Amino acid sequence: IGPALISGIAASRFSLPPMVGYLLCGFVLNLSGMYDHDRLTMIGDLGVTLLLFTIGLKLDLRSLLRPVIWAGTTLHTTIFIAVLGALLYWMSLACIQAFSNIDIGKAMLIGFALSFSSTEFAVKTMEDKGEYQSKYGQTAIGVLIMQDIFAVLFIAASTGKLPSVWALGLLVLIPMRYVLMRLLDRAGHNGELQILYGIALAFGAYSLFDAVDVKGDLGALIIGAMLASHPLAGDVSKRLLGFKDLLLVGFFLSIGMSGNITVSTMVIALFLTVLVLFKGVVFFALFTRFKMRARTATLSSLTLTNYSEFGLIVAAIAVTNAWMTEDWMVTIALALTLTIIIAAPINMRAVHLYGRLRSTVRKFETDSVLPEDELPDIGNAKIAVIGMGRLGTSVYDKLVQDYGDFLIGIDNDPDIIIEQKTAGRNVILADATDDEMWER
């Protein structure tokens, strides 16, 4: 705990996620020989279960139905796996020593592990900039959730055995959803009860699915998704955040302790770090083909141009099933660390970077853009109310008496826009964090 704390603080001082510090700390502890790998692995597994449960609590299926999200993510994953897998396999056939003993299956598995982008890094970066609710932020979050679903499907299939016949009994969870929702109602806003309820559901679902030979982590995600529409689901997720982060420290430390850093692993990690540029280019190309504005596509792509902690989870499962060696898990951990160290300062200056490249990247825009990404028509408005929640609505209603002809309301939630227009207010869909909107 002591070394993890110090390394996490050191990483934060350089505006990096503490996760980077934990991974580097694991490498150092591995060299010292002072650790208990088995216990840390067990703690890390608990963290992964809570991670999947909290992802389920935030799963908004409507946001995933946009073609740019589900089709864009699927195409990106497919392209990245095919290109990176083929490249690694070709380098093995070319008898390059560092890539020896890589067959086509192993090459594709490595490509799959590296196809994910870091949820922790993206969320931290956007929250630090206050742009979590921006258009590009919501696009990036949608892609990350789709990637999480791909990872969960892999986790579910990784057991290598068919579910028990008793797995059909899991269908009883469908009518049980009503009971689970009512229990959360009873817990109310009591933080203590919300924490206990969340932990009981996450680990209870894990045990239930595991008992019928279905991957327990899948159970945690499904039970979380069943409660996602509850008004208190967000509160439960926030209450569990500290527990999840604490337990995941064990996971990141154990990854760093899984193998030794050699010249070969470092060389390959540097090579994979360079290849992350291809990942960002493919994201940008797909986003613009799906009719996103260049600004949204650029900022979303920069947020996603890194490797992910979920890739480490995939690699850990692959090592457990003897599909790849521990050296490759260490290599992926190194590549993840390097990409985040590079991506952190770039993303903090992403808007400035886009401003310098705007004339170039705008050439890739399509003639028409997605309706939700269009720049708004302000008309003859002189006064704007940003954010049409309860406070914004009250301000609007007060101002409309004297300035109705020059007043406009702005919000980035389509549901709020429909509700406000139905009430007769002059509102438009726009992103207040978009500098191109302010230029108008």
The stretch 230-236 carries a mean pLDDT of: 89
**H/E element holding 408?**
strand 407-411
- Residues forming a β-bridge with 385: 409
**Please, which contacts does 396-399 make with residues 24 or more away whose CB atoms are closer than 8 Å?**
396/425
DSSP 3-state of 173? helix
With CA atoms as reference, report the closest residue to 183 among 175, 173, 193: 193
Weakest-pLDDT range from 103-112, 158-167, 212-221, 242-251: 158-167
Between CA 328 and CA 339 the distance in angstroms is 16
State pLDDT tens for residues 114-123: 999 988 788 7
Could you tell me the strand order of the sheet in which 383-386 lies? 383-386, 407-411, 427-429
Mean pLDDT of 379-394: 91
The pLDDT value recorded for residue 184 is 92
Distance CA 418, CA 410 (A): 12
Measured between alpha carbons, how far is 167 from 246 in angstroms, rounded to an integer?
32
Q: If you ran DSSP here, which 8-state letter would residue 190 be given? A: -
Q: What is the pLDDT of residue 36?
A: 67
End-to-end CA distance of the chain: 51
> 280 Cβ partners below 8 Å, 6+ apart?
301, 302, 304, 305
Half-sphere exposure of 21 (CA within 13 A, CB side): 19
Instruction: Give the pLDDT band of residue 97 (cuts 50, 70, 90).
Output: low
Q: What is the model's pLDDT at position 174?
A: 87
For 4-38, the pLDDT digits (tens) are 899 989 988 887 878 888 888 888 887 777 666 67
Per-residue pLDDT of 158-184, as tens digits, reads 766 667 788 888 888 889 999 999 999
Q: How confident is the model at residue 153 (pLDDT cuts 50, 70, 90)?
A: confident
The three-state secondary structure class of 77 is: helix
pLDDT digits (tens, 9 = 90+) for 49-67: 888 888 888 777 777 788 9
Q: DSSP of 234-259, one letter per residue? A: HHHHHHHHHHHHHHHHHHHHHHHTSS
- CA 264 to CA 130: how far, in whole Å? 40
Query: Residue 387 — left, alpha, or beta (φ > 0 → left; ψ -120 to 50 → alpha)?
Result: left
For residue 380, give both structure tokens: 């003859």
What percentage of the chain has pLDDT greater than the value 90? Answer: 33
pLDDT of amino acid 43: 85
Candidates 144, 163, 132; CA nearest to 51 is 144
The tokens 């302790």 sit on which residue?
A: 257
Closest CA relative to residue 40, chosen from 31, 48, 32:
48
For the record, the structure tokens of 405 come out as 């002809």
Are 304 and 326 a contacting pair, CB within 8 Å? no
What number of other Cβ atoms are within 10 A of residue 35's Cβ? 18
pLDDT in tens, 283-314: 999 999 999 999 999 999 999 999 988 888 88
Check: CB of residue 419 under 8 Å from CB of residue 439.
Answer: no
**How many angstroms separate the Cα of 168 from the Cα of each of 164, 173, 179, 367?**
8, 10, 20, 50
pLDDT value, residue 160: 63
List for the chain the helix, strand, coil content (%; round to 5): 75, 5, 25
Half-sphere exposure of 278 (CA within 13 A, CB side): 17
Summarize the confidence of residues 124-134 as an average pLDDT. 76
State how far the Cα of 310 lies from the Cα of 19, in Å rounded to an integer: 12
Yes or no: say if 104 and 89 are a contact pair by the CB < 8 Å rule. yes
Per-residue pLDDT, 35: 64
DSSP 11-42: HHHTT--HHHHHHHHHHHHHHHT---HHHHHH
Q: Name beta bridge partners: 410.
A: 386, 428
- For 331-362, how does the pLDDT look when each residue is reduced to its tens digit (9 = 90+)? 888 898 889 888 888 988 888 899 899 999 99
pLDDT of residue 168: 83
